[in-house]
Amino acid sequence: PQPHPLALPGAHSAQLARERSCACSQFARECSCACSGSGSGRTEEEEAEEEEGGAMAGQAEKKQAKRAESLIVYFLYAMVGVNALYVLSRVLFYWSSWGKWSIIGFALFSFVSYFTYNGIDRALQIGGDYEWFQDMFIVNLTTQLLVCFSDYGWLLYLLVPGYLGWKVLKMFLSYVFTPTEAEMNDNDPKNKKKMEKQQKKAERPKFKSMK
């Protein structure tokens, strides 16, 4: 709008300044709203990804826990069944043999069963390897089952030191016959050629130039 001919120049300048100030403030508000909107969008995407990752991890943990619960039950039933059969057979049919050594044997069987059972349970819960605990668990319960009918069943327990000895021997043989990194480099044909070239280069006579 054209200024009034009687208006003062200072009043017109003040009016223009106010209009510019309003326009700048409106532009600043629009920019801040746009920036905040885009920032909140990125945050929502990140939160959605985190929630999805947490949900997947939770599902995996639930599946692992369900699998552990379903498998550990079989080990529990086997342990309870064999121990019950051992006590009943010794008390009902072989009461005369229920002496000091039978009590010691029962304590040994119970300790090994408890130790290996807990090891299997922990490994199943974290998804670890429980092969060693399972082998010991099976040998222990099988020996206890055979001892219910004959004391010669104790001979099966000889598998335990034999198994441990085999594991130690296997580790020793692996340590002795596994080549080291230096030996592997020495046997490598490419490395041999490289070493021969370096040796020949070092053996070449060096001549000094006379000035």
16's CB contacts (< 8 A; 6+ apart) are: none
Instruction: Give yes or no for a contact between 192 and 186, defined as CB atoms under 8 angstroms apart.
Output: yes
Asked whether the predicted pLDDT for residue 6 surpasses 50, the reply is no
Question: What does the pLDDT read at residue 137?
Answer: 92
Question: Looking at the predicted structure, is the pLDDT value of residue 115 above 90?
Answer: yes
Which comes out higher in pLDDT, residue 182 or 140? 140
- C-alpha 54/C-alpha 49 separation (Å) is 8
pTM value is: 0.52
Q: What is the CA radius of gyration of the chain?
A: 41
Least confident of 31-35, 114-118, 123-127: 31-35
Per-residue pLDDT, 182: 66
Q: Is the pLDDT of residue 91 over 70?
A: yes
Decide which of 99 and 77 is more confident.
77
Q: Which of 24-38, 78-92, 174-188, 195-209 has the lowest mean pLDDT?
A: 24-38
Stretch 99-103: mean pLDDT: 83
Exposure class string for 82-96: b at 16+ Cβ within 10 A, else e? bbeebeebbeeeeee
Q: 144, 86 in Cβ contact below 8 A? A: yes
Give the pLDDT score at 210: 54
- Whether 4 has a pLDDT exceeding 50, the answer reads no
